[in-house]
């Protein structure tokens, strides 16, 4: 048994490590092809009004461009590192590698900033699987209208229209509600109360002649109505409290309490608890509606128990693919940074140039993937 | 198919076929299995002969490494058979999946509209017939579960939809199968040849009750079908009025009042 | 598991310096970097997993023969809650796990992992794989993968029950354990990928001088092509699995269509495309079919040639048809989706590519027949299994051509005809090829031979039982008997098929019994088998030039290759074999 190396005839005149890196990169190409291919399928197959534009999704070209520049520069830097290592200039090589590492970190930092900007706009990777329509607003309004048992017809007819635009808006709203209600009705296992409400809503709306009211006015109306309910609840609570106060002396004065008084007192206490609860709920609702009017959709959604999606058509699929593509790219960048971190303390002389070259190959690949992602997500 | 009736394999071949388009499938089936049987026998005999010969006490194996002519022959002949199969099956595929049946409306040939909207859900089949407005997907649609009545002797187009997961509309005796992908409405068509009652099963795993997701399809003559449909519409409007009076305008299609069994014959 | 390795491998590793101590033990036998030990680890693990997968299949057969009746022994253990019966949910778990384990934990790792690892360096003349540590990681990653799989069966609620194809929306919206199942699959995929890169590098870069590509044994060709398929197809599956996992875990909707109903009754905005999963999945899983058969084809070619004492007929066409299968394997995935609702004109193009790929498969069969023709055949157990492989591949191949015709697929898609077909290919062919390989290379691996008589009995029972089990399934399929039915007899039309199903189950039990013989033979021979020399079969390829079992480092000489591996019965020579390494 000898430990000498055996002679081999290699088909490709490169080191095994480099050969394997090339193989690994080709598998990575297949991986990203699958992801980008899926993106193209989703994009071309997007129903309705089509795929959102980058600006709709708050994509800012110059930030993406800056990131592209950073990555390109880092690719150049790692080539310089490789060249220095080949010449045996260890210190220079380390400096170039450090520069590459920092540029990569810069890329990730900017990516992180972009992600946080998306979150700030309410654009999350997992938003909106729970809604039916691309025109989410209408479905949402319809649900809330039915949920609050608010007489839709009254609230909309009473609002006068001032311009054609908002009239069209309102018509859209009506149609949305009717569509939605019809779809809901098609569910075989629908509770009969809900069915009645839906039919009532359809009847009210179809009896309306033409446009009436504006979208914003609807919300203010809804707010006012809820406020009125709120006030009513408070009034009622006040009167009942007063009655209870009146009963109090007769309850505590004598040993033998009149059973009817006792019963009435119990009833009032109970009713007051209920009213207080209702009052709290209505306070929340009014606040939520006011917030909704300001564009903070989620709070009302939570309050009403009605899930709501991003109001951008096909927006949720856009977010899904955006986070999928950039997320996996960022993970690959991170992997490259870890490899560089491992290499940093190593003496990068000509004997170890192969190591640098393998990392550089991988880093160029990461760069190339970004070259594809940047136009797809920011420009097209 | 009675062609395959040898003990102990009686009844273990294609089931009866009640469909016009299914005939081409049966024809292809027989043809391909004949070709396969021949190839199987030939290769089997060659293998058996080679093995038997080897057992007769050769001293040394015959040394040969290749035979270009032989290899060309056995590449070209199967290749030819495969090309033939590929071309020959086109007609059947056309009829079954590509050529949507046409009909003449005011002298213009248009695609035949679907007769029934089939909605699959875990684990039942819903059949929606157009109501008096003769349009599907409106409020006056008639609705049945797991039992469908269709006319024979004419092209029937069905619109398939799924509410939840992937199902597959499979009627063995009509040679019809179509996966139903949620989000895609699929059209299928066939022409039944006679009065029959056939099983409809689900052929794509849809959950624990997959096996129980079955329906029945009954084929009746056009006249019977029309009178059945009219009767169903009357029954529905009656029940609607009744419920409107008592329940305040509820639309309800109850299966008790419009059951297929009552009105079939 | 590893105790087996240790006992069997003790003599193999006498060459380590400084033996003794826990770290030495762990490094040599557990986290071994030697390709032979890793190969054996793969072999023993996959054999154990095969028992698990086989028992699951028996449970499936039990339900189909005697639906809802109490299962003996296992029923009381597993389903005491249901009174010893299989519930419909658990039936779905059974066939899902049977397929998953058999495909991803038995057939693929036993071919590429066990035999690929053991044979590639020996056959090409290398000391070890190109990357021993990567090799070790590729094996050890399979255990977390298998752990996830098995654990997923016991997750409260429903186990993974969406079938091994895991079609969404079912796999996204239902089944609590599907996420764990997906994770297991991702792990096993990464493991396979590590292996594939390693094998390709070893084969391309580390061949002994004189071992040109066209002097490589068919086994090595099979492994090379398989690895290339793995390397290029698996990443696509990994991407799809990650997207499916994200649909389950992070509420994305890549594979969820607009407006579909959730179990809670709400409707989804979705917007995704359920069909996309099928395209991505079959883009991997069709090449996976070849991943599961090509190495077996290679090994069977070698075994046939050796026991016929004849060269493989048409070596070059054999190699080129393998390459053709690999190349075209990437463009035929759509024939799994003829009636899925994809564009029907697309079906026609997939039909044509499928017909094209049938051709090289046919050529391989003819070449095997010509290899056998005129041979001086020794009917050893290995040879019998190799012949079984050829005969059953003919049946599986022919039914494959039938199914490739779209109109026929309308009738038999998702019926037992499909089940019959792929069991002929995967069990009748691949697993028979594996058995042939085990009987053939067992002497090389352990320095002892397996019992020939028991081996022949194992073949006889297996061959009859496999045909009795899987051939009648064609008839079931012809009747339209759907697969994945917990109780098909609720459908009136299928009620008369119960006796045939009971027959199949009896045959399946006989098949399982035959495997008991195999395991007795295998483990018995590890200790009591007849000791053997370095080249008991008088074979030609390089692995027979080294002692059995080969020492660490494989070769104590510089192997130089002078000719192809199939120079048997060369006319002017007295000896009937002419090894590659003999000048």
Walk along chain B (265 residues) and give the pLDDT tens digit of each residue: 444 566 777 778 889 999 988 899 999 999 999 999 999 999 999 999 999 888 666 677 888 888 899 999 999 999 999 999 999 999 999 989 998 999 888 888 889 999 999 999 888 999 999 887 777 777 778 889 899 999 999 999 999 999 889 999 999 999 999 999 988 888 999 999 999 999 999 999 999 999 999 999 999 999 999 999 999 888 887 776 655 444 333 333 333 333 333 333 3
Nearest 5°: the CA angle C296, C301, C304 is: 120
| Any C CB within 8 A of A131 CB | yes
Which one of A45, A132, A186, A314 would you mutate to disrupt binding with B, by most B Cβ within 10 Å of its Cβ? A186
| Interval B166-206: pLDDT, tens | 999 999 999 999 999 988 888 999 999 999 999 999 999 99
Give the residue, A353 or A4, on which the prediction is more confident.
A353
d(CA B158, CA B118): 7
Report CB contact under 8 Å: B66, C173: no
Helices and strands per DSSP (H, E), number in chain A: 12, 0
Is the per-residue pLDDT at C235 higher than 50?
yes
Parallel, antiparallel or unpaired: strands C448-449 and B155-162: unpaired
**Mean pLDDT comparison of A140-149, A322-331, B254-263, highest-scoring range:** A322-331
- What is the predicted pLDDT for the residue at C419? 96
What is the rounded CA–CA span in Å between residue A193 and residue B113? 35
Assigned domain for B209 exists: yes
For chain B, what is the radius of gyration of the CA atoms? Answer: 26
pLDDT at residue B261, rounded to an integer = 35
Residues B90 and B119 in one domain: no
DSSP secondary structure letter of residue C334: G
- Which has more pLDDT, A232 or C114? C114
CA angle A224, A226, A228 (to 5 degrees): 70
Q: What Cα–Cα distance (Å) separates residue B51 from each residue in A99, B64, C369, C383?
A: 71, 17, 10, 11
pLDDT per position as a tens digit, C363-375: 999 999 999 998 8
Residue A158: its pLDDT value, please? 33
Look at chain B and report how many structural domains it folds into: 2
Using one digit for the tens of pLDDT, what is the confidence trace for C410-423?
999 999 999 999 99
C381-403 and C344-372 helices cross at what angle (nearest 10)?
150
Hey, is the C-beta of A166 within 8 angstroms of any chain C C-beta? no
**Torsion over CA: B86, B92, B93, B94 (sign):** positive
Residue C543, pLDDT > 90, answer yes
Q: Is residue B177 part of a domain?
A: yes
Q: What's the pLDDT band for C341 if we cut at 50, 70, 90?
A: confident
Q: How far is B234 from chain A (nearest CA, A)?
A: 20
The alpha carbon torsion through C480, C483, C489, C490 (nearest 10 deg) reads -100
Mean pLDDT of chain A: 74
- B77 plus B135 within the same structural domain: no
**How does DSSP assign B62-78, residue by residue?**
------HHHHHHHHHHH
Mean pLDDT of A250-256: 65
Q: Is the pLDDT of residue A143 over 60?
A: no
- Strand C448-449 to B186-191 pairing: unpaired
- Asked if the Cβ–Cβ distance from B249 to A196 is below 8 Å, we say yes
pLDDT at residue number A209:
35
**What pLDDT band is residue C392 in, cutting at 50, 70 and 90?**
very high
Rounded CA gap, B209 and A176, in Å? 35
Assigned domain for B108 exists: no
One domain for residues B50 and B163? no
Most confident by average pLDDT, B9-13, C43-47, C173-177: C43-47
Query: Does residue C476 register a pLDDT over 60?
Result: yes
- Provide the pLDDT confidence category of residue A1 given band limits of 50, 70 and 90: very low
Contact between C559 and C545 under an 8 Å Cβ cutoff? The reply is yes
pLDDT of residue A164: 33
Could you tell me which residues come within 8 angstroms of residue C172 by beta carbon, excluding any fewer than 6 positions away? C178, C244, C247, C248, C255, C256
Q: C436 in helix, strand or coil?
A: helix
Averaged pLDDT, A161-173: 40
- The mean pLDDT of chain C is 90
In the structure, what pLDDT confidence band is assigned to residue A291 with cuts at 50, 70 and 90?
A: low
The rounded distance, in Å, linking the Cα atoms of C553 and C36 is 10
Among the partner residues A182, A188, A199, nearest to B249 by beta-carbon distance: A199
Q: Judge contact between C303 and C386, C-beta under 8 A.
A: yes
Same domain? For B117 and B240 the reply is yes
Same domain, yes or no: B84 and B124: no
Sequence-separated (6 or more) residues with CB below 8 Å from residue B127: B116, B117, B118, B119, B143, B144, B145, B147, B148, B215
Strands B186-191 and B176-180 come out as unpaired
The answer on B191 and B93 residing in a single domain is no
Distance from CA of A352 to the nearest CA of B (A): 48
Domain containing B170 equals 113-245
Cβ burial C48-64 (10 Å sphere, 16+ → b, else e):
bbbebbbebbbbbbbbb
Rounded distance between C-alpha atoms, residue A252 and residue C340, angstroms: 78
Which residue is it, tokens 């014959």? B265
Q: Do B249 and A188 touch (CB under 8 A)?
A: no
Please tell me the distance from the alpha carbon of residue C524 to that of residue C147, in angstroms, as a whole number: 28
Give residue B265's pLDDT.
31
- Please give the Cα distance from C47 to C95 (Å, whole number): 19
Is C235 an 8 Å CB contact of chain B?
A: no
CB B183 within 8 A of CB C259: yes
**Domain extent listing, chain C:** 34-253+270-545
For tokens 């993968």, the residue is: C145
Question: How many angstroms from the chain centroid is the CA of residue C30?
Answer: 24
How far is the C-alpha of B148 from the C-alpha of A133, rounded, in Å?
A: 31
C-beta atoms of A20 and C197 within 8 A: yes
**Distance in Å, alpha carbon of B25 to nearest chain C alpha carbon:** 6
Give the nearest partner residue to A31 out of C204, C235, C559, using CB atoms.
Answer: C235
Is residue B251 in some structural domain?
no
CA dist list (Å): B196 to B116, C258, C562, C578 = 18, 37, 73, 70
Is B26 found in the same domain as B4? yes
Cα–Cα separations (whole angstroms), residue C251 to A86, B114, C132, C243: 49, 35, 40, 11
Residue C480, chain B, CB below 8 Å: the answer is yes
Q: Give residue C77's pLDDT band: very low, low, confident or very high (50, 70, 90).
A: low
In this prediction, residue A255 carries a pLDDT of 61
Tokens of C225: 């092509």
Do the Cβ atoms of A131 and A307 come closer than 8 Å?
yes
CATH code of residue B161: 2.60.40.420
Residue of B nearest to A186 (CA): B139
User: Is the same domain home to B128 and B169?
Assistant: yes
d(Cα C475, Cα C411) in Å, to the nearest integer?
Answer: 12
If one compares A120 and B146, the residue with the highest pLDDT of the two is B146
CB contact under 8 A, B143 and A199: no
Place of tokens 């017939």: B129
Asked if C558 and A47 come within 8 Å (Cβ–Cβ), the reply is no
Helix/strand/coil (H/E/C) assignment for every residue in A48-66: CCCCCCCCCCCCCHHHHHH
| Class of residue C414 by CB neighbours under 10 A (exposed 0-12, middle 13-18, buried 19+) | buried
Q: Note the pLDDT of residue C478.
A: 93
How high is the pLDDT of residue A206?
57
Residues of A in contact with C555 (CB under 8 A): 6
Cα–Cα distance measured from residue C128 to residue C109, given in angstroms and rounded to the nearest whole number: 18
> Is the residue at B223 inside a domain?
yes
| DSSP state letter for A123 | -
User: How many residues does this entry show for chain C?
Assistant: 583
Nearest to C25 by CA among C9, C36, C39: C9
Write down the CATH number for the domain with range C34-253+270-545. Answer: 1.20.210.10
Angle ∠(C78,C79,C85) on CA atoms, nearest 5: 130
Cα B235 to Cα B253: distance, rounded to the nearest angstrom:
9
Distance of CA C185 to the CA centre of its chain: 15
Closest CA to C58 of C546, C505, C492: C505
Neighbour count for residue C173 (Cβ, 10 Å): 22
pLDDT of amino acid C9: 37
| Cα end-to-end span (Å), chain B | 28
pLDDT of residue A169: 42
Of the listed ranges B136-140, C52-56, C334-338, the least confidently predicted one is B136-140
Which of B255, B254, B226 minimizes the C-alpha distance to B240?
A: B254
Q: What is the pLDDT of residue B10?
A: 77
* Adjacent-strand bridge partners of C261: C267
pLDDT in tens, A54-66: 877 778 899 999 9
What is the ipTM score, two decimals? 0.91
Same domain for B234 and B178, yes or no, is: yes
- Mean pLDDT, range C490-518, rounded to an integer: 94
Whether the model pTM is above 0.80: yes
Place of tokens 């407006």: C259
Q: How confident is the model at residue A133 (pLDDT cuts 50, 70, 90)?
A: very low
pLDDT of residue A6: 85
Q: Which of A2, A38, A126 lies at the smallest CB-CB distance from C250?
A: A126
Please report the pLDDT score of residue C277 as a whole number. 95
Q: For residues B188 and B178, is the Cβ–Cβ distance under 8 A?
A: yes
Chains that touch B (3 or more CB pairs under 8 A): A, C
Residue B251's CB is within 10 A of a number of other CB atoms, namely 16
Q: Of A190-199, B65-74, C131-140, C272-281, which range is least confident? A: A190-199
- Pairwise CA distance, residues C68 & A256, whole Å: 69
Size of interface B-C (CB pairs under 8 A): 279
The listed range with the strongest mean pLDDT (A37-41, B258-262, C176-180) is A37-41
Whether B257 is covered by a domain: the verdict is no
| Chain A contact for B256 (CB, 8 A cutoff) | no
If DSSP states are collapsed to H, E and C, what string results for A136-172?
A: HHHHHHHHHHHHCCCCHHHHHHCCCCCCHHHHHHHHH
Counting one residue from A and one from B, how many pairs have CB atoms under 8 Å apart? 15
Instruction: Tell me the average pLDDT across A79-88.
Output: 93
- Select from A11, A23, A189 the residue whose CB has the most chain C CBs within 10 Å, as the one to mutate to test that interface: A23
Tell me the per-residue pLDDT of C187-228, one tens digit each, with 9 for 90 and over. 999 999 999 999 999 999 999 999 999 999 999 999 999 999
Q: Inspect the interface and report whether the beta carbons of C576 and B184 lie closer than 8 Å.
A: no
Residue B125 burial by Cβ neighbours in a 10 Å radius (0-12, 13-18, 19+): buried
| C-beta atoms of B126 and A182 within 8 A | no
* Residues pairing with B196 in the sheet: B219
Quickly count: other Cβ atoms within 10 Å of residue C74's Cβ: 14
């Amino acid at each position: 048994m000898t430990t000498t190396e055996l002679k081999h005839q290699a088909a490709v005149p490169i080191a095994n490590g480099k050969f394997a890196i090339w193989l690994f990169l080709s598998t990575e190409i297949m991986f990203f092809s699958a992801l980008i291919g899926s993106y193209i399928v989703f994009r071309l197959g997007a129903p309705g009004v089509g795929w959102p534009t980058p600006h709709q999704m708050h994509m800012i070209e110059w930030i993406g461009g800056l990131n592209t520049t950073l990555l390109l520069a880092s690719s150049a830097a790692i080539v310089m590192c490789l060249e220095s290592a080949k010449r045996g200039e260890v210190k220079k090589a380390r400096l170039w590698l450090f520069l590459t590492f920092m540029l990569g970190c810069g890329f990730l930092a900017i990516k992180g900033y972009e992600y946080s900007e998306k979150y700030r706009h309410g654009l999350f990777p997992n938003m909106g699987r729970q809604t039916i329509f691309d025109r989410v607003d209408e479905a949402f309004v319809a649900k809330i209208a039915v949920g609050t048992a608010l007489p839709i017809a009254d609230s909309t007819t009473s609002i006068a229209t001032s311009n054609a635009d908002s009239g069209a808006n309102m018509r859209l709203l009506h149609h949305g509600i009717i569509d939605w209600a019809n779809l809901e009705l098609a569910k075989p296992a629908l509770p009969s109360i809900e069915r009645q409400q839906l039919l009532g809503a359809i009847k009210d709306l179809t009896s309306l002649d033409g446009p009436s009211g504006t979208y914003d006015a609807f919300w203010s109306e809804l707010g006012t109505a809820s406020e009125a309910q709120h006030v009513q609840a408070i009034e009622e609570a006040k009167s009942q409290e007063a009655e209870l106060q009146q009963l109090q002396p007769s309850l505590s004065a004598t040993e033998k309490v009149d059973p009817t008084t006792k019963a009435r007192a119990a009833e009032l206490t109970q009713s007051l608890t209920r009213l207080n609860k209702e009052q709290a709920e209505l306070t929340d609702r009014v606040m939520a509606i006011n917030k909704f009017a300001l564009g903070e959709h989620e709070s009302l959604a939570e309050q009403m128990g009605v899930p709501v999606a991003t109001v951008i058509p096909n927006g949720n699929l856009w977010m899904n693919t955006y986070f999928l593509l950039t997320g996996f790219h960022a993970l690959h960048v991170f992997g490259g940074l870890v490899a560089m971190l491992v290499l940093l303390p190593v003496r990068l002389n000509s004997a170890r140039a192969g190591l640098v070259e393998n990392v550089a190959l991988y880093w160029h690949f990461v760069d190339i993937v970004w070259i594809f992602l940047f136009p797809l997500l920011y420009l097209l | 198919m009675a062609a395959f009736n040898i003990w102990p394999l009686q009844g273990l071949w294609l089931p009866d076929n009640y469909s016009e388009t299914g005939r081409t499938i049966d024809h292809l089936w027989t043809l391909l299995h004949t070709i396969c049987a021949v190839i199987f026998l030939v290769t089997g005999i060659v293998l058996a002969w080679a093995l038997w010969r080897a057992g007769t006490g050769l001293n040394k194996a015959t040394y040969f490494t290749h035979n270009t002519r032989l290899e060309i022959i056995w590449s070209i002949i199967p290749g030819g058979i495969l090309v033939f199969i590929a071309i020959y099956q086109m007609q059947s595929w056309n009829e079954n999946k590509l050529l949507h049946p046409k009909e003449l409306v005011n002298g213009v040939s248009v695609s035949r509209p679907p007769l029934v909207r089939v909605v699959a859900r875990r684990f039942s089949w819903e059949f929606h017939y157009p109501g008096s407005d003769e349009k599907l997907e409106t409020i006056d649609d008639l609705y049945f579960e797991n039992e469908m009545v269709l006319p024979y002797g004419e092209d029937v187009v069905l619109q398939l939809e799924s509410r939840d997961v992937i199902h597959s509309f499979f009627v063995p005796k009509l040679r019809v199968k179509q996966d139903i992908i949620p989000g895609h409405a699929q059209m299928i068509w066939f022409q039944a040849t006679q009065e029959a009652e056939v099983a409809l099963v689900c052929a794509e795993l849809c959950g624990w009750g997959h096996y129980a997701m079955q329906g029945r399809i009954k084929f009746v003559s056009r006249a019977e079908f029309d009178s059945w449909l009219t009767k169903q519409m009357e029954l529905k409007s009656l029940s609607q009025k009744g419920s409107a009076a008592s329940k305040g305008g509820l639309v309800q299609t109850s299966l008790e009042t419009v059951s297929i069994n009552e009105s079939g014959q | 598991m590893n105790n087996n390795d240790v006992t069997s491998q003790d003599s193999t590793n006498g060459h380590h310096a400084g033996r003794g101590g826990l770290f030495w033990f762990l490094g040599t036998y557990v986290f071994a970097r030697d390709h032979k030990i890793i190969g054996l680890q793969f072999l023993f693990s996959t054999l154990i997993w095969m028992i698990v997968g086989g028992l699951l299949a028996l449970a499936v057969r039990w339900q189909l023969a005697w639906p809802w009746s109490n299962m003996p022994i296992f029923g009381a253990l597993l389903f005491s809650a249901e009174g010893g019966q299989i519930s419909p949910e658990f039936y779905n778990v059974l066939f899902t796990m049977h397929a998953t384990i058999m495909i991803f934990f038995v057939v693929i790792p036993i071919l590429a992992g066990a035999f690929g690892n053991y044979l590639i360096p020996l056959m090409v003349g290398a000391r070890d794989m190109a990357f021993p540590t990567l090799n070790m990681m590729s094996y050890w990653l399979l255990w977390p993968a298998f752990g996830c799989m098995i654990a997923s069966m016991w997750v409260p609620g429903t186990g993974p029950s969406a079938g091994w194809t895991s079609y969404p929306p079912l796999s996204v919206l239902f089944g609590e354990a599907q996420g764990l199942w997906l994770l297991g699959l991702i792990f096993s995929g990464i493991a396979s990928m590590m292996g594939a890169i390693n094998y390709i590098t070893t084969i391309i870069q580390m061949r002994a001088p004189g071992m040109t590509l066209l002097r490589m044994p068919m086994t090595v060709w099979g492994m090379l092509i398989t690895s290339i398929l793995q390397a290029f197809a698996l990443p696509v599956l990994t991407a799809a699995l990650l997207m499916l996992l994200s649909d389950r875990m992070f509420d994305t909707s890549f594979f969820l269509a607009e407006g579909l109903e959730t179990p809670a009754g709400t409707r989804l905005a979705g917007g995704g495309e359920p069909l996309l999963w099928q395209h991505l999945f079959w883009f991997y899983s069709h090449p996976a079919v070849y991943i599961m058969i090509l190495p077996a084809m290679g090994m069977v070619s070698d075994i046939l040639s050796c026991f016929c004492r004849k060269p493989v007929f048409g070596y070059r066409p054999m190699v080129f048809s393998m390459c053709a299968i690999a190349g075209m394997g990437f463009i035929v995935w759509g024939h799994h989706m003829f009636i899925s609702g994809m564009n029907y004109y697309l079906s026609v193009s997939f039909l044509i590519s499928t017909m094209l790929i049938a051709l090289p498969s046919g050529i391989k069969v003819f070449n095997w027949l010509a290899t056998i023709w005129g041979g001086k055949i020794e009917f050893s157990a290995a040879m019998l299994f190799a012949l079984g492989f050829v005969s059953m591949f003919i049946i599986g191949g022919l039914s494959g051509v039938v199914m490739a015709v779209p109109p026929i697929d309308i009738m038999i898609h998702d019926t037992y005809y499909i089940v019959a077909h792929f069991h002929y290919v995967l069990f009748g062919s691949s697993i028979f090829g594996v058995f042939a390989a085990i009987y053939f290379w067992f002497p090389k691996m352990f320095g002892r031979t397996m019992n020939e008589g028991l081996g022949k009995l194992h073949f006889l029972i297996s061959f009859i039982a496999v045909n009795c089990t899987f051939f009648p399934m064609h008839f079931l399929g012809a009747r339209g008997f759907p697969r994945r039915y917990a109780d098909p007899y609720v459908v009136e039309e299928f009620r008369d098929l119960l006796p045939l199903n009971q027959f199949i189950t009896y045959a399946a039990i006989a098949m399982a019994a035959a495997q008991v013989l195999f395991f007795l033979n295998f483990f018995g021979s590890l200790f009591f088998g007849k000791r053997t020399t370095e080249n008991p079969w008088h074979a030609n390829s390089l692995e027979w030039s080294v002692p059995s079992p080969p020492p660490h480092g494989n070769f104590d000489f510089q192997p130089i290759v002078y000719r192809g591996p199939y120079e048997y019965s060369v006319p002017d020579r007295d000896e009937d074999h002419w090894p590659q390494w003999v000048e």
